[in-house]
Structure 1
Amino acid sequence: MNLINQITHNKFLTELFPSGLTGPVLIGQINLDLGGKLYLNIHTRQKPEIEVLKWGTWGKDYNTIVVKLYTRARKNLHITDWNNVTYSQLIIQQNNDHILLKQTHDSFQLELELTGLIFQECSTYTDDLDIEGNE
């Protein structure tokens, strides 16, 4: 299942990644606020299909894109061994009234049950670590 198709206000993302986020991703940040919102940052090393002038040149000015999302309604959140998070496949399942995001790598496990995701913005940076997290 394509995560981008599950995101509201996804027009820019569908232009960046028309085939979806097909490679491993890193869940870089999860924030919960007192108002009930959950913020989720997904880092990808997937080269975008379009050039965004203000970002510069892929591979020179940046090699990582951060997709910033939020949701007002979450059902469940389960994280095990967060300190071992790394780039890995994100599994997306659509159930009756929610989206299930799952990611596992070695001892790290993440499961998020959400009722919807809303695109907020993208940012970029250059990361010198390889995809497995080694320098």
Structure 2
Amino acid sequence: MSGEGSTGAPPSAGVTTAGGDDADAGSVHVIMGRAKTRIVLSGEIDALVSPDLVEAAAEAEDAGRPVEVDAHHVTFMDSTGVAFLARLASRSSTRLVLIRPPDVVRFLIEVTSINDLLDVVDDDPGVDDSVPEHAPDDDPDGPDRAA
């Protein structure tokens, strides 16, 4: 299930989608941008999506860019999600940004003190710069100009 979704990213924006089709099933989307990597979590973040979280963390680490996690659509999170956030925060060379976490996520990061390792923001900074590095629009001469 890739393509236009809750991230608003077009199919060519380097989106990796995982998780089930059930409305409450957890899903993990990774959007690789020029300046940052955004991981979008939605639904139930639990042991069922653990392999997807591990893969997303590895992709983010390999990219070497600042990481932000959009948790706005998370409906449930257990220790799997907490461990994921802790791993990202501890391995990132820059401070992890957690975007619009719901109360359930805020509670978990506070009681586990993970909030000391990341910045929580209530306003989405947007994903304007999150386009693939090989985007056709990167050509300053444009598509109509002969080489």
TM-score (norm 1): 0.28
Greater CA radius of gyration, 1 or 2? 2
Higher helix share: 2
* Structure of higher RCO (CA pairs closer than 8 Å, 6+ residues apart): 1
Higher strand share: 1
TM-score (norm 2): 0.26
